Amino acid sequence: ATAGPETAVLTATPGPLRIEDYQDLAQRRLDDQVWDFVEGGAGTERTVDANRCAFARVTLRPRVLVDVSACDTGTELLGAPLATPVGVAPTAYHRLLHPDGEVATALGAGAAGALYVVSVFASRTLEEIAAEAAGPLWLQLYWLRRREVLAGLVERATAAGYRALVLTVDAPQLGRRHRDARNGFAVPAGISAVNLDPALMASAHRSDAGRSALAVHTAEAVDPSVTWADLAWLRARSELPVVLKGILTAEDAVLAVQHGADAIVVSNHGGRQLDGAPASLDALAEVVDAVGAAGCPVLFDGGVRSGADAFAALALGARAVLLGRPVLWGLAADGAAGVAGVLGLATEELAHTMALAGRPALPAVDRSAVVLAPGPA
Ligand code: FNR
């Protein structure tokens, strides 16, 4: 039959209905090397896979005959009110994905009322990003060998209105990311971690088959000798709260609290660092229990691809969840609108899950709302 106007309407492609629709759009737009950089993980990528598989072991326990006529996703984090507990994880070099880079991400996060954790490897300046941001910004740091550069970043972040420092503690060396090594992946000329000293960037641009420039660059820039004792140095540089990202065990959660961490992010870096580390979701309850009810807030990232996933992590004790790759898919697909689209979809799905689970506000999204079956040993 010939397609008439009605058929055309019926077969018109709808906009993104799920977060993975943005993944498809992004893949079509990105070149293979950038795609591999975004999607890839360390080693066998079994921790990347584990992050996703863990969510398939979640069962939700709905309660009924609860008034869910208004479901409130609002929360508070380190003193700032947030419209949604779904935020943006720190990821490097957003200009690889969109010409406006992190400025587009900030606009999208602001439109969604979401927290944005800016990577120290951002490709726009901290000040440019802050000028466009409508929501709270935190700055993620790696412990650089050159402490004067680190101190300068802390000062600039404070002056530009960033509200917390997030020290990533799971990357004393870069994970062995075979896709990037095979591709000889390097940061293209014209894109750079502009907040670092340009001299620190030279190795990141050197393309070399069989080697990832990022691994070489990280080895040059990041100080692998840092320990718990050094945290006092960072604390003394700024009044800003200090958040530790990349905690996966009760032991380290206790140490983090003892050393005055203002928050913790349970994360395995999206499976990009220690291959064989547990799925983030499997580590969450252990960390939350070790921190205790009176302890600091615990955030979560790793494998969240829907509002239902966010609900599960919140139920297991996370105060907020961060999205890494999904935000990059949105950014590549449609700039600021794509970022807002991904965050908005996750928040909408979260509110929907809250309604059908009979938990109309986040404090009611507690352990009684979820069962996480044990994973394979
Ligand atoms: C990251 N991540 C990361 N983390 C960090 O602390 N500093 C950084 O600069 C980066 N850069 C980065 C780049 C890319 C391309 C990805 C995919 C990830 C890790 C990130 O913050 C987060 O922990 C994970 O991405 C969360 O997992 P999902 O949501 O990607 O599954």
- Strand segments (E) across 242-323: 242-247, 263-266, 298-301, 320-323
ipTM greater than 0.90, yes or no?
Answer: yes
Q: How high is the pLDDT of residue 131?
A: 98
Q: How high is the pLDDT of residue 10?
A: 59
How far is it, in rounded angstroms, from Cα 299 to Cα 296?
A: 10
Residues at the annotated binding site?
A: 90-92, 119, 140, 142, 168, 177, 245, 267, 269, 272, 301-305, 324-325
Q: How high is the pLDDT of residue 304?
A: 99
Residues at the annotated binding site for FMN?
A: 90-92, 119, 140, 168, 245, 267, 301-305, 324-325
- CATH for 16-365 (3.40.605.10, 3.60.21.10, 3.20.20.70, 1.10.3720.10): 3.20.20.70
Residue nearest to atom 15 of ligand 1 (CA): 38
Q: How high is the pLDDT of residue 200?
A: 77
pLDDT by residue for the chain (377 residues), tens digit each? 445 555 555 566 678 999 999 999 999 999 999 999 999 999 999 999 999 999 999 999 999 999 999 999 999 999 999 999 999 999 999 999 999 999 999 999 999 999 999 999 999 999 999 999 999 999 999 999 999 999 999 999 999 999 999 999 999 999 999 999 999 999 999 999 999 988 778 888 887 878 889 988 899 999 999 999 999 999 999 999 999 999 999 999 999 999 999 999 999 999 999 999 999 999 999 999 999 987 899 999 999 999 999 999 999 999 999 999 999 999 999 999 999 999 999 999 999 999 999 999 999 999 999 999 998 76
Q: How many separate helices (H) and strands (E) can be counted in the chain?
A: 14, 12
How far is it, in rounded angstroms, from Cα 335 to Cα 261?
A: 34
Q: How high is the pLDDT of residue 7?
A: 56
Rounded to an integer, what is the distance from CA 95 to the centroid of its chain? Answer: 17
Do 285 and 316 meet the contact criterion of CB atoms below 8 Å apart? Answer: yes
Q: What pTM did the predictor assign? A: 0.96
Q: How high is the pLDDT of residue 333?
A: 98
Sequence spans of domains, the chain: 16-365
- Per-residue CA distances from 331 to 16, 119, 172, 256, 340 (Å): 13, 15, 28, 33, 9
Which residue ranges have their beta carbon within 6 Å of ligand 1?
37-38, 51, 89-92, 119, 121, 140, 168, 245, 267, 269-270, 272, 301-304, 323-325
